[in-house]
Structure 1
Amino acid sequence: MLKSERHQDNSSQGALAPNLAALNDRQLADLLPREQDFPASWTVSEIKQLSDTFGYFRYHVDDEGLGINPVECFSVLGVASTGAFDAAEVFGHDRADPPEVAARRDIRLMIGREFDSAGFDAFTSQVSRCLQFSSAAAGSYTVRILEDTRTGGGPQRFRYSVTTTVGTDPSDETRIDYYSYARTSGLILTGAASTGHQQPFDALFDSTLNRIVDR
């Protein structure tokens, strides 16, 4: 079971936060990809909070019946607190997907204001502790860290993939999901992609991060 805890500060006095986090939700949403940036055949949707909120959102995992072992590794599967409050989201679905995943978000990007300067590093450390873990429901998970960069003055980036094996034998059915995170100028950019969509995902994430840096 997931429980969430949300705190909001909608104060209209002064800037919401330092650096680019002071931009309002509409301005932050404008930094995300547009429909025309996705592959032409895709269905694209967006979520804009437009509440100009600064606060925090944190997941609590309190039901070990989910079968994740160790339980802290649940966050590695895209339900992570990185120290940001999301302001806007865009996601796309590849209509060439099979019918059983017709509602899947094949590429998803979110932009949020950072509220906890230690949250990003805490998350990357957590992923590094969860390179192999298991689930009673799905089988096993293997994490591969693709990038962990901390350039002076530039964005801090973290990318990894998760290979899910449904069953106990390595030859059983597998899928690979991709996750990307970047921290810069008081913002955190978060992204995820499903199997077979890494290339367009990387391109969309990189172009979005470049827009943020240029802003």
Structure 2
Amino acid sequence: MNDRSPTQQATHWLTGLERALAQGDVAAAVALFDTDSYWRDLLAFTWNIKTCEGPAAIADMLAAVLDGLKPSNWRIEGEASQDNGMTEAWFTFETALARGRGLLRLRGDRCWTLLTTMTELKGLEERKGPTRSMGTTHGVVPGRKNWLERRTEEEAALGDSKQPYCLVIGGGQCGIALAARLRRLDVPTIVVEKHARAGDKRRHRGADQGALRAPERWR
């Protein structure tokens, strides 16, 4: 019988995962997951936004990215909760490149679902608090440039005096959101899209689906 509190259960699981990943032991890490398990990662471990379904897929992902990633400092955030035998806890962690936050759900002593998200890149932390961008500048400022002038200069510098750090393939909903987030972090980024405009894939898909659903007499 498990007499640990929900917080103790979550902490124990995270400690086991941290130990296995630090040792590069993929098998030990995967053994912490249920046979019916899911790991959803948002840019913390991979640059792909996808869900790994099952221990085999999780093992393949870890084997591909673990070397050099150095995930560490897995710490529970607040107190875990429990409902219908399911333990749920928020946690924080970091890698060699970034800091992140995640959500853990346990069934018994094994993980059912794990979410890991990157919250900031080390060395490119978001400007907030006293360092945040102040937006509109009021008053008389010699040489002040408007938004369009600053944007034009930024576009001219990208690929010339400032080289892109990230390439986002696909200007759909996820690609646009990712590029906007990277822009907030001052990460030079280029988005490539095969359609004429960003977002055209969704526009075309909506039109195609509408045609398929339309009654015959409307076509």
TM-score band (shorter)? under 0.3
TM value normalised by structure 1: 0.27
Would you tell me which structure has more helix in proportion to its own residues? 2
Larger Rg, first or second structure (1 or 2): 2
Q: Which has the higher contact order (CA 8 A, sep 6+)?
A: 1
User: How high is the TM-score relative to the length of structure 2?
Assistant: 0.27
Give the structure with the larger strand fraction: 1
